[in-house]
Amino acid sequence: MAQARVFGRLFGGLPPLIEGRIMKIRNSLKSAKVRDKDCRVVRRRGKVYVINKKNPRMKARQG
């Protein structure tokens, strides 16, 4: 992660490999929304997302 911090300072963001791990892209969100009781399905800017404020690892976007 030290490399990510240096990259972020130099280029203003995370490197592409780490940035891609923030949210899963799935064809179907049916299984993603039932993974945890706190998961919520929302629509933002024409895309459908599953968000979970208590466990951010559960984030997903429909692709």
pLDDT of residue 9: 58
pLDDT at 13: 54
Burial level of 19, CB count in 10 A (0-12/13-18/19+)? exposed
Q: How many CB atoms lie within 10 A of CB 20?
A: 11
Instruction: Tell me the per-residue pLDDT of 1-44, one tens digit each, with 9 for 90 and over.
Output: 555 555 555 555 555 554 556 788 899 988 888 888 999 999 99
Partnered with residue 40 across adjacent β-strands are: 51
Distance CA 53, CA 12 (A): 25
Instruction: Give domain limits for the chain.
Output: 23-63
Query: Which SS3 state, helix, strand or coil, does residue 47 take?
Result: strand
Biggest CA pair distance of the chain: 39
